[in-house]
Structure formats: C-alpha cells, structure tokens
C-alpha cells in the first residue's frame, strides 16, 4: 500500500468540528507542512470520541491516535472537552497499565486560530510514533494480512 | 508395559518434541491447562484437572475456516488448511479420554468435520490414571474407570516411576524405545484408585429416567425454573466441559476482507443460535434446560444410551454459583 | 447468626414488610452456595455462613417487575453494589428491604485446592484455624490464608444504607488494597505487558466476570451486539483478549464498587479486580477519593469534571520510575 | 447497498498541483458501492454543481462524496446541490483533500495516496449514512422573566415593546429588586429611585407585561419554545384587586417587631406592610409568622380598618400554570453574610455595617431619613473606615468568602466616600483597599474625584482587626505603600461585602436544567460568543445571575437577553438540528448516566413497553428531545450499552472511517 515499502507510521487524528478541525484547516491554508500519514476524522466534539474508536484504530493498524479538541473552557458545547479530558486520562492510564507505550496516545487542545500549533503538534506526534516504531502490543494480525 | 523414571520424563518429552508438537498440562500464571510443551514450561502431572479440558487439542476454542480477501470489488477465497502435522497430547485423564469418543460421534459422523478429523488423525493421546480422585469426580457413573484410562497410550504413576502401556499402533510407535516393565506393575495403584473412587460422594448417582422415553417428562419438569434461577448465563460450565461441542461460525471484517472462523459457543449464552426473529430460548430457564437435556436425554437417545457427560467434575468446581449437572441429576433423576 | 437471620426474615414476612428473601442455599457440596429466593415456607433452608461469598444483589434486577418487596441479605461489601444498582435505576430501593448481615470474611475453596488440598469433604472453623477433612486425611489451614482475595482488602465492615444489620463483623483486611496495583505501576511497561499477557491469555471468554458483575447490568452487552462493532464470542487473538478486558474495565470505571466478584468467579484465576482497582486508584488520585455505591444518587467521576482537572498527559508525566 | 458517486475537485491548481485528481477518481471507482466517479476543475462552480445534479439523476445515486476543500467551506453548498437533485442533504460527505492534503503535502505521490485514503473514508462513511430530516416544533409566543429587579424589568420591557407577552415572576411582594434599595448610583450620583421607579411603572402599565409578585417558580417542564411552568403565587392575605395601597392597615397594625427587610433589618415594620412607598404592585402583604391574628386568632385590626375590604385571612397559595416559549433568569444577588468575618466585629457592634446597610442609612427614605448617624447611639460619626473586598477575591477560605471579584464594590465605596464627604465635610473617611478596580466609562475619573477632590484617604492594604472599644471602633490595618501599621479610632466601619447569587438560584438551575458554575452563577452557553444564553436552549440570562455586574452592564445584558428572546419568539416554529442523539430502546438500560453529562438537559426518561429478544416488558428508557439536543455526543460515550448514538456521526460511521483510514 505504501509508496515505498519502508515502514511509516499510520496516525489517526480525531478533531472536534469547532476548534481543532478548523485549526487543521488553518494549518492547511497557511501551507504548514506535516506528514501525510496523519489522517483526520471529524467529530462534533472531543466528547464524541469513544475509547472504542481508539482501540479500533489500533486494531486496524494505527500506530498512534491523537485527539484534538477546543481548549478547556472554549468547548462549543460548554463541557464536552471536560468529559473528554477525564475519559482520555482514564483510557490512557489503562493502556499504560497494560504496558502499551504511553506515547501512542495523546490529547492536544488546538483552537481554530492555532493552525501553527496543529502542524507543530502533528509533526511532533509523528516523530514520537516513528521513534516508538510499529504498534505491536495492540495490533490485530488479521487486519494486516 | 514400558516404564520410565519420573526424573527422566523431561528427557522423554524433549525427544517427543523434537519430532512433533507435544501438548501437556503446564502451569501458566498459576493455572494448569494443556499447552505446548517446551523445556522452560512446568508440567503439572499432580494436578488432576486442567481448567479447560483436553478437547481443545482436537477442537480448539478458535479455528480459522476460510478467508475472503477483498481487492476493490474482487473477492478471493482462501480456505484454511487443516492440521497436517503429528502431535502428542500427554496426561489426559480417563474422563477427558472418554470425551474424545463422544466428540468423535459428533464430528466424525456424516458430514465429517475436516478440521476435527485431521487433528484426530494426527494426534496421539497419552492418558494418565488418577492417583488422587477429587470429591468432585463422578466418572464411574458413566462406566469410566479412572484407574484404566483409554487413549493410544495409558500411563500410571507408581512411586517414582511412570508405567506406560500402548493400546494402539500409534501408541506403540511413541513408546517403543522405552524400557520394558512387568505387565502388572500398576495393579496396586489401580486398586487404590478404585478404592477411593468407590467412596466418592457421587460414586453412584441414580440416572434412571434420563433417556429418550422420558424426554417430554423431563422437558416439562417444573423443577427447571427454580434450578436455573441462579444461573448467571455465563459459559464457564460449557467452556470447561470436555464434551460440549457447540460452536458458532463468525465473520471478522478485517477491512481487507473477511476472516471466517469458528469458536466455542455456549447454549447458556443469551445470543446462542440467535436468529433474525430472535431466539427460541428466550430466558435462562430454557437455556439451562437445553444444556442438561442435551447431555442427559437428547444425546443418549441418539447415541445408544451414551450420556454426554464424563463426570470430570469441572463444572462442579468452577460454576460461580454452585450449579452443576449433579444437582440437576439429583433434582430430576431417579432419586427425585 | 444464621438462625437470627431466619427468625428476623420470617418476622418481616409475617408482618407483611416483605414477601420473599434473596439469600443463599447450600449446593451439592457443603461449601457450595447458590443464590436463592425463599418464601416463608422454605426459609428454613436459608444458609448464611463462611461460604456465602457470592454477591446476590444483581439478582434483584430481575425481581423488579414483580409485585411485593424483597428482603436481600447483604454483606458490607454487597451493600455498595445495592446502592450503585439503585443509583443506576436498575433496582428500585423501595421494593427492597436491605438486611445487612455480619461478615468475618468468606472462605475460598479454590484457594485450598491451589494449596494442593484434594478431595475436600468437610471444613470446621475454630477461631482462626480451619480444619480441612479430605479423602486423603486432615489438614489445618490458617483461616486468613483461605479467605477470598476480596476479603483480604475489604472496604470495611460498615453496611452502607441498609435497613438494619444483624450479626457482628470482623475486620479481615490485611493491607493496602492498592498494593498490587502500585507494584504493577512500578514495573516497566514491558514487564506490565508481559504480566497482563500472561494473565489475559488464560481468558476463555466464559463471560462469568461480566455476568456476575453488578455494574455490568446492560440488557444487551456491546460484546453480544453484532451492531456494536466490537462484538465477539471468543478472543480470536491477543488483541481481542486485551480489548474485552479494557472495555469491560472502562465501562465499569467510576461505577465499580470493587466487590471483587469478577476475580472470585474467574475459572482461570485472572486477577481482574486489578484492572478495576487501577481505575479506582486513578480516580482517587486524580479526582479525589470516590467510593462507588457509598450512597444512592452519587454522580460518578466520569460523568463529572472540574475546570482544573489534570490533562491526559498526566499519564505520561506521572512516576518517572515506571516510565 | 448505496449507489455512490464520487466527485473529485481540482480546485484549479489548489488540489490538482499536488494530488493526481484523476488517479483519485479512478481509485474511488473500485471501491464497493461506487457507481460513478469523476473529476472537475471547480466542483463548487455552477457547472460543477450541475454535473453533480445530473449524475445523481442519471446514476440514481443514493450517496455523494465530494473530494474537495474543507466541509467548513462548501458542505452547505453541496448539500443544497444534492437537495436540488432530489437527494437528502445528509447523504453528502466531504473528503477534505485541500486543507488537509494538497495544501500541506508537496510530494504528488504522497498527496495522491492520502487523498485516496481520505476519499475511501468518506465513501465508507456515506455507506452508513441515512437520510436525516430536520424536525420542527412550534413556539409559544410568551416569555417568562424570573426576577423583577432592574435586569428582569429591562428584559421584560424590551420584549414587551417588541410585541410579545411577558410575565415577570418576583419572589418579593414588589418588583424593584436590589436597585430599589440603593441611594445614589455611580458614576453619575443620580438617585437610584428616580431612574428605577419610572421603569417599574412602565412595566406595571405595559399592556404586554404581567407582573406576578410574591410568587416563585414551582416546576418547569418542556423545552425551547414549549415550556410549561407552574408558578406558586404565595398567599399575601390581601385581595390584590381590592387593595388600594392606602397604607392604613400598615399604620394600624399593633405587631411592630418585624425586621424591615427592605431597610436591611435596620428598623422594624408591622406584620402587614408595603415594602416601600413606590412598591409595585402597591399592595400590602401580611407576614403570617408575625401577625397576631395568625398566631392567636385574635386582633384583626387591619381587617376592621380596611375600607376596601381587601384583607383575606383565608387566602391560600395559588398555582398558576402557564406556557412559555422562552425563559429569562434574572434572579440577581444578595450580599454575603458578613457575620463570618469576626475580625471586623460585624456581629459585635451595630456600628459595623455592610455597604447595603450603609446605602439604606444614607437614603432619604431609609431608617434614618437619610441622616448619617451611628446605629448604636444615633450620634453623628466623625471618622468612618471603609473596608474593601470583604469576602471577595478570597481564595484561602472558601467557607468564608468567594474566590471572584464582586466587581461593583470599588465603585460604590468611592460613591459612599464621596457622598459622606459631600454632605458632611467634617467626617474623615478612610478606605482600605487591595486594588482599586475602575474599568468602566467615567469610572476612573469618578474614583480620582473621590481621592483628589473629596480628599478621601485611600490606604492600600487590608484591615487586620476591628475591635470594639468604649465609644469607638479600633481599626488596625496595614499600609502596604508606606509599609506601616495603621491604627484608626473610627465611629463607623463599612464593609464592602461580596455579592453572591440569590440563594434561590441553585434550585432554579436544577429546575431549568441550566448549568451553573461552582459559585452558583448561571453558566453562559459560550463565555465570549453567547454570553446571555444558557447552554439550555430557550433559557436566557440577565443581570447578576450570570456574574457580578453593575447597573449599566446589567441593563445592557438585559437588553441583549431580550433581543435573543425576541429572535426566538419571532419564529413560528423551530427547525431542529437533525444530527442529534437517539437512544435505541432495545439497548437502553435507563441508567441515567447520559442525562448527567448532557449539557442541555435534552434527555429525560420514561417507562415504556419494549419487546426485544433480550427484554420484554416495561422498562425505563432514555428519550432525547431533538429540539434541545445540540449533537455534541457526550451521552453516546457515557452509554455503556451503546444504546445512545448520534445521527450523522454514528458509532458505525466513525468506525468505518477509522477502518478505511487504517486499511
């Protein structure tokens, strides 16, 4: 599938519609480069991110999953990111407890004005995941056949 | 009869494992189950009952059947290969050994299950007599002699020696290089085992009435409702049972295609044989009844009176809420 | 205590305060206890002793559509489950008479078996010692060594929100309930991974942990629902083994009262409570001490927030030693 | 199976320069369900849209994927295109291959590969899309304003002027609120009553405004546009229709020991009273706890003396049931209880007063008829100390004070100081302050006048202790600028106590399912962009109920809230967002977790008969009101059984996208 056969990480970024997706758009209009292995899925709010989706991404072959939402206090729905914050903290902690590399999951608050932050975050996250290497601990080999 | 010092057992295992896969009761994370032997594993012949029965060697919990590979709008069909290598399963107890006969009746009768048949053909079963039967054992009710287990090879631990007797050609081949021993070397041990077996609390259960003739009577017995009330609907009894043989065929969508596999299923589950209209066993009463009716009535009425229970007692010790087949036999059987 | 309980139950039923009682009966072995509903005609068969480890509160859910009131015998730990079930509207507290029963810890027969004791035919209790009669002779065991793991780090012997209490309790906790969690946290991620792979690979997906769990009261579990996208009946590979247990622990996070039933019923002896307890420990540390089921109507920490909660990166930053 | 059409836009060279659009269209063609795929220079152009419309018709498309710029740019455009070709607008998905692909990647191969993956994700999602239809709900064209202070009055007047009916529910016997108690207002020093009472009269006389005084909201049900309120009109034991407000009863009443709330308890009133001369309605009220008739069954002097026959001892509370389209919360504030501050001797000496008490002392209609005297002995004070921030910005002891700035204290203290110096130039005035905060039009000028023109002694620092000594109060404080301890023998001490939301606010918030912050101020829907709306649709915020404010800000916000209400009531029906949450009855456990995380109170529960393979019978299930739900999805994740799902962003749709991306 890849252009070259060398391993490159596959990264899923969930972005809330109001802040981070707009931030990603701004990064685009500003022509701020970040690696192509980041693919964005638009969700209405960071609180829409079900931990199942994170696991699903790993199962299907993602090497890293990142959630971007409005900064705390700026949620379009007032409180969504506060719930997301607790949920993701608990999920990440659980994954860590099972020995899954901590770096594979991340939450970053990116506002609609922070195109540069979005690009920088993605560059940094891709680097982290590249350093961590392929996701082995939470992979489902059936999806790689 | 052949013999082998228990001290030399690991060497013997090593020799087997050089040529074929060896499966034995090994301890992992505090539990003993049949698993692939290697030098680093701890074999536990002192443990009478593995958590799961030995049936997994022939009927694994999960088995791939076919893969549908998708490329755009094209589908490629790749059936899974059946077992094509010999293996040995060591340390099977008399009850589990009998369960293979019962499974054979299901999987080897027409239409023959190719996956099971291949594993059976390639497997050599080494059984081991039960030196210390437990209070949960009741195999004698089903004509099983814990002192005389079946299999390709039967084995007895006597003191520090292991005595082995080949019952089949496959067995013969496996142990032919071992030291010869007197044919009656294990007789004392057998006697001791039988003496304990006779004293077991459920040594003689009254199975009267569990047959095809009394099918409707048993089916309609009002006792089922109360018996099943505490049942959690989990699959513990089913999954530790050596004779339960139900499976579900499932499709896993991997994104690139479909992996079709089968896996153990339990009639205790609410979604067992779920159909488009729902289920024909809507409550736990029907599900609970199904499991025991199958073992004690339906199976024997179709299989020359052979019960689909071997008295291993796993369900007795593992049911989280103290429900089990003995309780059912007592509540519905001749002692009722 | 058993006789006092029977007497009180009978009085309550005769007075019309309740119609039935949910308790335990003896099974095929002297140590088997099966949850059972009794009425005044068979209440004499009610059993309450050192083998009544099972938490029966979840059985109340099925009773709710029925007329009348049910007495439920609750040990101190069970009382939390009852409250949590009421909080979640799975049990209507008005249809329940919660009769607290004293507890000095419950005996785990499996533990005796793992000690190598076979053919158990009787157990007599004298103070802190158990005499175990077997087909192969008699063994003496310290009572605390034979207690269920859940009793060894008990939440305390106070019944929460019950209608009355019969009988005395004795403290059975022997240490910090988070000790093992902390030990795991102190391992390297690879060690932790190995530990959990070792444990979870034993899982046979019998669903006993789920089906016994008072917090897992879903009418249809996501794992049984083909439309959920995560349904599976058997762990087809390591991923699914992990996933089942991650999702289960996550679904009960904030709602798990740490009743310990999951570990008690696991036929493979997987210490499942360590997953739940990790969530509890995190909640306590990050969002303030919280005990699910301490009272009815609590808002659990994952349906709550404060403006100044830690960021999820706290997981990355915490504890340099276990990085 | 959907019949999907894929349309790849070049966006001139914006996309085509780094993405091989033809390759994307070709790759899409091989995806399951795709029956048509093409590319075009500008999909959003009229020609491009015409091409989409034609393809929908020609290929009987059931779903459309546009690979183009961000959905934030043209999603609405393409949805309209779909509608004009007879397709449901929610059967359109956008793959963002410009902002999130062509613009950030330089390598053609890389960009093309990613664009194909993004297209696949959109195709996977659209497979699971279902037509969504926006529901509508009618709007009751009447507003309820809770609270009859300046905030409520102004909101009501503005709404009523636009032609809508408004009910003001006021818990006190009269409207007017806190502003009616004030003497002068900063920064103009005009008399509070002079500017407030005409507005009260306007409200009373407005044909569209109905004042329900001495009443409280009992319960509320419904949702935006369709609220049903039960209002408890408390028995005042006076027939409002008969009472003329002559006041004879209040003079004749022999029970004189009731504390006069309006004067902050500085003097007493009869058991039957009219709070103040300009009260609206100008109708007496009987305090039944104080009234001799209610306590002993005797007396009845008021009844005997009332020529209008308005006394009704047997009056009962009355419940009014009314329907409303919008609700405005204008519940205002009260000063915090100063007795927690022992260090200022508030409980020990009558000469230590709060600012609001001081306000009444200075008021010509107040207990001293506006004469500045010491409450203890009625003597003229010579030295007064004002202490700022009593309970405001108090972060160390949450039980005592409030963490926030009460915002108005700096200015009213400057006002008090100035008024004292103006009327009584012989009185020395000291003000202890932490910071003098004066950000408002003409505020700093006002404060500087107090310092420079009126020679008020502003001391930067806090008072450590006020102790009661024989005939004076000993004030010990610190001067942080000169770094010295200061001792003042004062005749009076005035505490600028913090303000807090009215105690009824919390219960009201629960009733309205309107969220509140930890200080019990109502939360706005967005702190910057929606400051006068509660997150609960149809509930609006006016005045201090939302946060500390002065009068001009309150009036401005009251007007803003009114504008929002008018905007709502103007509509005949509301179109709902169809991307809302929905509970699957068969799966729902009724556990109430979703309700707890819903920021809008959109979820209620009902007992319903359900027949599914797993359950037959009556069970408690969650019901989402599509008119209230905003589609955030918080509930969907909280739901353990997966019963709650979000239309347009369903679990299966998001997972399909994940799968397609990771494939």
Residue A92 in 3-state DSSP?
helix
Split at pLDDT 50, 70, 90, the class of C319 is low
Residues of D in CB contact (< 8 Å) with C are 586-593, 596-597, 605, 612, 614-615, 617-620, 638, 640-642, 651-652, 655
Question: What per-residue confidence (pLDDT) applies to C323?
Answer: 39
Name the pLDDT band for A86 (thresholds 50, 70, 90).
Answer: very high
Q: Average pLDDT in the B110-114 region?
A: 95
Q: Are A113 and A25 in contact (CB under 8 A)?
A: no
pLDDT at C321: 34
Check if A60 contacts B (Cβ < 8 Å): yes
Vertex D411: Cα angle to D405 and D417 (nearest 5): 130
- B282/D616 CB distance under 8 A: yes
Cα B201 to chain center, whole Å?
22
Q: What is the ipTM of this complex?
A: 0.94
- Tens digit of each residue's pLDDT (9 = 90 or more) over D491-531: 999 999 999 999 999 899 888 878 788 899 998 887 788 89
Q: What is the pTM for the complete model shown?
A: 0.82
CA distance D586 to chain C (A): 8
User: At B78, is the pLDDT very low, low, confident or very high (cuts 50, 70, 90)?
Assistant: very high
The predicted model gives C149-170 an average pLDDT of 93
Q: Which residues contact A4 (CB under 8 A, 6 or more apart)?
A: none
* φ/ψ (deg, to 5) at B216: -65, -35
**Averaged pLDDT, C274-293:** 95
**Residue A32 CB neighbours (<10 A):** 19
Task: Assess B242–A contact: CB distance below 8 Å, yes or no.
Answer: no
Q: Is the pLDDT of residue B107 over 70?
A: yes
User: What mean pLDDT value characterizes chain A?
Assistant: 92
Name chain D contacts of C227, Cβ cutoff 8 Å. 642, 652
Report pLDDT for D425: 95
pLDDT over threshold 70, residue A5? no
Do D211 and D203 touch, CB atoms closer than 8 A? yes
| Residue D314 burial (C-beta neighbours within 10 Å; 0-12, 13-18, 19+) | exposed
For D640, which of C89, C229, C251 is closest by C-beta distance? Answer: C251
Q: Give residue D1's pLDDT band: very low, low, confident or very high (50, 70, 90).
A: confident
In chain A, which among 115-134 make CB contacts under 8 A with chain D?
A: 119
> A137 phi and psi, to 5 degrees?
-75, -25
pLDDT per residue as tens digits for the range D28-40: 999 999 999 999 9
| pLDDT at D585 exceeding the cut of 60 | yes
Interface contacts (B, D; CB < 8 Å):
21
B128 touches B47 (CB < 8 A):
no
Which A residues in the span 3-62 are in contact with C, Cβ-Cβ below 8 Å? Answer: 51-52, 55-56, 58-59
Average pLDDT of D396-405? 85
Residue A77 forms contact with D (CB below 8 Å)? yes
Strands D272-273, D268-269: pairing kind: unpaired
**Which residues, at least 6 apart from B276, have a Cβ–Cβ distance to it below 8 Å?**
none
Q: Describe the crossing of helices A51-59 and C238-252 by its angle, rounded to 10 degrees.
A: 170
CA proximity to B153, closest of B174, B130, B122: B174
Inform me whether the C-beta atom of residue B259 falls under 8 Å from chain A C-beta atoms.
Answer: yes
* Spatial distance between the Cα atoms of D229 and D212, rounded to a whole number of angstroms: 13
Contact at CB, D613 and B274, closer than 8 angstroms: yes
At residue A2, the 3 state secondary structure works out as: coil
Q: Whole-angstrom Cα distance, residue D320 to residue D499? A: 32
Alpha helices (runs of H) in chain A, residue ranges in sequence order? 20-29, 51-59, 80-97, 115-132
What are the extents of the domains in chain B? 2-332
Task: Please state, in angstroms and rounded to a whole number, the distance separating the CA atoms of residues D467 and B111.
Answer: 101
Neighbour tally for B283: CB within 10 Å: 15
Q: Contact C192/A98, CB-based, under 8 Å? A: yes
pLDDT of residue D69: 95
Please give the average per-residue pLDDT across B282-308, as a whole number.
94
Which tens digits make up the pLDDT trace of A8-35? Answer: 999 999 999 999 999 999 999 999 999 9
Model pLDDT for residues C19-59, shown as the tens digit of each residue: 999 999 998 899 999 999 999 999 999 999 999 999 999 99
Given CA atoms D519, D523, D527, D531 in this order, what sign does their dihedral have?
negative
Residue B229 clears pLDDT 70, i.e. is over it: yes
Q: For B270-281, what is the mean pLDDT? A: 87
Interchain CB contact of A15 with D (< 8 Å): no
Give residue A3's pLDDT band: very low, low, confident or very high (50, 70, 90): very low
Give pLDDT, residue D288. 93
Q: Which CATH architecture has domain A11-133?
A: 3-Layer(aba) Sandwich (3.40)
Cβ pair C302:A94 closer than 8 A: no
Q: pLDDT band at residue C322, thresholds of 50, 70 and 90?
A: very low
Question: What structural domains does chain D harbor?
Answer: 4-127 (3.40.50), 142-226+321-332+504-569 (3.50.50.60), 248-305 (no CATH), 335-500 (3.50.50.60), 581-647 (3.30.70.3270)
Q: Where in chain A are the domains?
A: 11-133
Q: What is the distance between the alpha carbons of residues C36 and B179, in angstroms, rounded to a whole number?
A: 57
For B297, left (φ over 0), alpha (ψ -120 to 50), or beta?
alpha
Name the residue facing A50 among D98, D523, D637 (closest C-beta): D637
Asked if B41 is an interface residue toward chain C (Cβ–Cβ < 8 A), one would say: no
A89 close contact with C: CB closer than 8 A: yes
- pLDDT, residue B33, reads 95
Judge whether residue B108 has pLDDT over 70. Answer: yes
Residue D363's pLDDT is 95
* pLDDT for the residue D628: 87
Q: What are the C-alpha distances in Å from C300 to residues A72, C81, C255?
A: 20, 14, 7
> What does the pLDDT read at residue D536?
82
Task: Tell me the sheet residues that pair with D230.
Answer: D219, D321
């Amino acid at each position: 599938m890849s252009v070259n056969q060398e391993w490159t990480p596959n990264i899923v970024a969930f972005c809330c519609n109001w802040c981070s997706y707009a931030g990603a758009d701004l990064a685009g209009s500003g022509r701020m480069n970040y690696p192509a292995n980041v693919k964005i899925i638009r969700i209405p709010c960071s609180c829409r991110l079900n931990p199942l989706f994170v696991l699903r991404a790993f199962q299907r072959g993602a090497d890293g999953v990142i959630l971007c939402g409005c900064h705390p206090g700026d949620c379009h729905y007032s409180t969504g990111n506060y719930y997301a914050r607790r949920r993701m903290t608990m999920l990440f902690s659980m994954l860590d407890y099972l020995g899954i590399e901590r770096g594979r999951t991340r939450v970053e608050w990116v506002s609609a004005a922070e195109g540069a932050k979005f690009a920088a975050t993605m560059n940094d996250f891709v680097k982290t995941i590249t350093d961590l290497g392929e996701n082995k601990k939470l992979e489902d080999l059936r999806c790689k056949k | 009869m052949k013999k082998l010092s228990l001290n030399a057992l690991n060497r013997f295992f090593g020799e087997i494992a050089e040529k074929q896969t060896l499966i034995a009761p090994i301890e992992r994370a505090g539990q003993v189950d049949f698993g692939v032997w290697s030098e680093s594993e701890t074999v536990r012949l002192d443990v009478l009952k593995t958590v799961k029965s030995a049936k997994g060697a022939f009927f694994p919990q999960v088995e791939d059947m076919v893969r549908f590979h998708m490329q755009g709008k094209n589908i490629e069909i790749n059936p899974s290969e059946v077992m094509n290598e010999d293996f040995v399963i060591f340390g099977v107890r008399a009850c589990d050994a009998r369960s293979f006969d019962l499974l054979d009746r299901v999987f080897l009768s027409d239409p023959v299950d190719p996956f099971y048949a291949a594993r059976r053909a390639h497997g050599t079963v080494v059984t081991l007599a039960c030196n210390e039967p437990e209070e949960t054992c009741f195999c004698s009710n089903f004509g099983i002699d814990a002192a005389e287990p079946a299999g390709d090879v039967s084995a007895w631990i006597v003191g520090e020696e292991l005595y082995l007797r080949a019952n089949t050609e496959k067995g013969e081949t496996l142990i032919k290089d071992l030291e010869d021993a007197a044919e009656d070397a294990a007789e004392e041990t057998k006697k001791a085992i039988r003496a304990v077996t006779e004293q077991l609390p459920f040594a003689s259960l009254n199975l009267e009435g569990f047959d095809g003739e009394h099918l409707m009577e048993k089916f309609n017995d009002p006792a089922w409702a109360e018996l099943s009330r505490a049942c959690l609907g989990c699959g513990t009894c089913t999954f530790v049972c050596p004779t339960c043989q139900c499976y579900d065929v499932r499709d896993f969508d991997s994104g690139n295609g479909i992996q079709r596999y089968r896996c153990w299923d339990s009639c205790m589950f609410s979604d067992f044989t779920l159909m488009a209209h729902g289920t024909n066993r809507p409550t736990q009463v029907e599900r609970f009844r199904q499991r025991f009716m199958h073992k004690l009535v339906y199976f024997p009425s179709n299989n020359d009176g052979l019960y689909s229970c071997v008295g291993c007692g796993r369900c007795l010790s593992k049911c989280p809420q103290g429900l089990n087949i003995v309780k059912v036999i007592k509540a519905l059987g001749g002692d009722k | 205590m058993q006789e006092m309980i029977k007497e009180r139950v009978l009085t309550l039923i005769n007075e019309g305060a309740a119609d039935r009682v949910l308790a335990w009966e003896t099974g095929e072995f002297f140590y088997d206890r099966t949850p059972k509903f009794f009425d005044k005609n068979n209440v004499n068969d009610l059993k309450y002793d050192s083998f009544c480890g099972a938490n029966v509160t979840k059985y109340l859910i099925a009773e709710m559509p029925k007329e009348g009131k049910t007495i439920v015998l609750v040990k101190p730990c069970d009382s939390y489950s009852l409250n949590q079930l009421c909080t979640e509207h799975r049990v209507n507290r008005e249809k329940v008479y919660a009769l607290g029963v004293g507890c000095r810890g419950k005996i785990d027969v499996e533990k005796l078996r793992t000690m190598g004791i076979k053919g158990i035919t009787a157990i007599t209790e004298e103070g802190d010692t158990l005499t175990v009669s077997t087909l192969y002779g008699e063994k003496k065991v310290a009572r605390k060594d034979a207690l269920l793991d859940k009793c060894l780090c008990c939440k305390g012997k106070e019944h929460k929100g019950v209608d009355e209490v019969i009988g005395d309790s004795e403290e059975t906790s022997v240490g910090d309930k988070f000790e093992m969690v902390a030990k795991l946290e102190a391992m390297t991620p690879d060690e932790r991974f190995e530990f959990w792979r070792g444990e979870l690979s034993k899982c046979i997906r019998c669903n006993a942990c789920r089906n016994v769990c008072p917090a897992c009261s879903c009418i249809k579990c996501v794992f049984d629902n083909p439309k959920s996208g995560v349904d599976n009946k058997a762990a087809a590979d390591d991923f699914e083994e992990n996933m089942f247990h991650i999702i289960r622990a996550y679904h009960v996070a904030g709602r798990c009262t740490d009743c310990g039933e999951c570990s008690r019923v696991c036929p493979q002896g997987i210490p499942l409570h360590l997953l739940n307890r990790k969530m509890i420990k995190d909640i306590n540390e990050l969002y303030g001490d919280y005990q699910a089921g301490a009272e009815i109507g609590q808002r659990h920490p994952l349906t709550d927030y404060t403006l100044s909660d830690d960021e999820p990166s706290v997981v990355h930053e915490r504890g340099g030693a276990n990085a | 199976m959907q019949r999907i059409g894929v349309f790849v836009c070049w966006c001139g060279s914006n996309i085509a320069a780094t993405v091989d659009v033809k390759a994307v269209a070709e790759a899409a063609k091989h995806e399951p369900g795709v029956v048509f795929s093409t590319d075009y220079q500008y999909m959003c152009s009229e020609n491009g849209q015409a091409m989409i419309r034609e393809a929908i018709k020609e290929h009987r498309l059931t779903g459309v994927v546009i690979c183009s710029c961000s959905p934030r740019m043209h999603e609405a455009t393409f949805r309209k295109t779909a509608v004009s070709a007879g397709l449901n607008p929610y059967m359109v998905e956008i793959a963002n291959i410009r902002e999130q692909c062509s613009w950030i990647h330089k390598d053609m191969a890389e960009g093309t590969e990613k664009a194909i993956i993004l297209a696949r994700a959109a195709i996977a999602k659209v497979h699971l899309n279902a037509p969504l239809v926006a529901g509508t709900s009618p709007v009751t064209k009447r507003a309820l304003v809770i609270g009859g202070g300046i905030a409520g009055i102004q909101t009501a007047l503005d709404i009523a002027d636009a032609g809508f009916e408004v009910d003001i529910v006021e818990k006190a016997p009269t409207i007017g609120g806190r502003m009616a108690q004030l003497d002068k207002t900063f920064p103009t020093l005009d008399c509070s009553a002079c500017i407030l009472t005409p507005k009260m009269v306007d409200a009373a006389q407005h044909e569209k405004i109905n004042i329900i005084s001495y009443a409280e909201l009992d319960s509320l049900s419904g949702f935006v546009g369709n609220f049903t309120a039960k209002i408890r009109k408390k028995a005042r034991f006076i027939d409002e229709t008969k009472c003329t407000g002559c006041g004879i009863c209040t003079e004749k009443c022999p029970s004189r020991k009731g504390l006069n709330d309006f004067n902050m308890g500085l003097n007493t009133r009869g058991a039957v009273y009219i709070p103040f001369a300009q009260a609206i309605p100008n109708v007496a009220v009987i305090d039944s706890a104080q009234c001799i008739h209610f306590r002993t069954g005797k007396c009845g002097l008021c009844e005997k003396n009332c020529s209008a026959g308005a006394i009704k001892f047997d009056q009962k509370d009355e419940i009014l049931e009314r329907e409303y389209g919008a609700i405005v919360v204008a519940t205002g504030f009260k000063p915090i209880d100063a007795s927690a501050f022992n260090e200022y001797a508030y409980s020990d000496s009558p000469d230590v007063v709060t600012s609001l008490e001081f306000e009444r002392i200075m008021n010509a209609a107040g207990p001293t008829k506006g004469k500045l005297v010491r409450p203890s002995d009625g003597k003229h004070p010579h030295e007064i100390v004002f202490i700022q921030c009593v309970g405001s910005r108090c972060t160390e002891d949450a039980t005592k004070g409030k963490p926030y700035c009460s915002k108005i204290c700096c200015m009213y203290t400057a006002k008090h100081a100035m008024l004292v110096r103006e009327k009584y130039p012989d009185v020395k005035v000291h003000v202890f302050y932490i910071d003098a905060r004066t950000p408002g039009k003409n505020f700093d000028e006002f404060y500087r006048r107090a310092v420079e023109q009126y020679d008020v002694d502003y001391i930067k620092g806090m008072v450590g202790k006020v102790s009661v000594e024989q005939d004076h109060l000993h004030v010990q404080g610190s001067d942080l600028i000169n770094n010295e301890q200061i001792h003042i023998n004062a005749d009076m001490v005035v505490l600028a106590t913090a303000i807090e939301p009215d105690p009824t606010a919390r219960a009201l918030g629960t009733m309205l399912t309107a969220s509140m912050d930890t200080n019990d101020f109502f939360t706005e829907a967005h702190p910057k962009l929606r400051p006068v709306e509660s997150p609960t649709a149809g509930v609006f915020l006016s005045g201090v109920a939302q946060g500390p404010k002065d009068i001009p800000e309150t009036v401005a916000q009251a007007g803003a809230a009114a504008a929002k209400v008018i905007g709502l009531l103007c509509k005949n029906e509301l179109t709902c967002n169809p991307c809302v949450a929905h509970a699957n009855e068969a799966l729902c456990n009724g556990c109430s977790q979703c309700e707890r995380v819903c920021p809008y109170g959109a979820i209620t529960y009902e007992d319903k008969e359900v027949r599914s393979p797993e359950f037959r019978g009556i069970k408690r299930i969650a019901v989402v009101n599509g008119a209230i739900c905003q589609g955030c999805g918080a509930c969907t994740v909280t739901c353990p059984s997966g019963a709650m799902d979000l239309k347009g962003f369903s679990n299966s749709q998001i997972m399909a996208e994940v799968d397609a991306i990771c494939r």
